[in-house]
């Protein structure tokens, strides 16, 4: 890839199967295509029909349909979080991870320069394998993500001074 400003990139998008994730990925896709870059968007077929109207540059954004695998307790035909009751969303997560072979097949043939993802921890290894760069594009704020990280101390044991200090080992010495 040259450093020239005229270099056009091919970018792949693989967001979590929730419209709150898909929509920001489409907005980013529109911004990239506004500058002439091509975008390949990997998404369940049913979800594609619901968001196609958001595409500003249909000649530069191409959808690649995914089949959401059948998973025990996942309602038949479920493709996004809006199709699944909250208590069953973990099963959609399992199905999402089971799309890995489909994703690998599609991306191996496309060979994009970059792959944007948010909920697939296996994506960086896959991207490396096909010669692409993986970019974790999280639409969730760092503060919200931090709430899910387990702490060694229980918050009720922590003082104000404890909160003012970075956690032990952060930042790591290898950075």
Cβ neighbors of 83 (< 8 A, separation 6 or more) are 75, 77
Query: CB within 8 A of 101, min separation 6: which ones?
Result: none
Clarify whether 21 is annotated catalytic.
Answer: yes
Of the residues 118, 128, 157, 162, which is catalytic?
A: 118
- Residue 62 known to be catalytic: no
Tokens of 46: 């049913």
Q: Within 10 A of 83 (CB to CB), how many other CB atoms are there?
A: 19
29 Cβ contact list (under 8 Å, min separation 6) = 11, 13, 39, 41, 55, 61
Q: Tell me how far apart the alpha carbons of residues 44 and 66 are, in angstroms, rounded to a whole number.
A: 4
Catalytic residue among 21, 72, 83, 162: 21
- Known catalytic residues are 21, 118
């Amino acid at each position: 890839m040259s450093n020239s400003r005229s270099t056009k990139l091919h970018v792949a998008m693989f967001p979590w199967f929730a419209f709150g994730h898909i929509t920001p990925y489409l907005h980013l896709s529109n911004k990239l295509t506004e500058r002439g870059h091509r975008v390949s968007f990997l998404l369940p077929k049913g979800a594609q029909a619901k968001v196609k109207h958001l595409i500003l540059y249909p000649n530069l954004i191409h959808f690649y349909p995914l089949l959401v695998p059948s998973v025990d307790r996942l309602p038949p035909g479920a493709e996004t979080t809006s199709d699944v009751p909250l208590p069953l969303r973990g099963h959609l997560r399992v199905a999402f991870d089971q799309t890995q072979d489909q994703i690998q097949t599609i991306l191996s043939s496309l060979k994009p320069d970059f792959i944007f993802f948010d909920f697939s921890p296996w994506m960086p290894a896959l991207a490396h394998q096909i010669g692409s760069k993986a970019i974790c594009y999280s639409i969730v704020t760092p503060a919200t993500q931090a709430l899910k990280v387990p702490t060694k101390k229980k918050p009720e044991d922590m003082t104000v001074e404890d909160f003012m200090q970075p956690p032990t080992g952060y930042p790591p010495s290898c950075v």
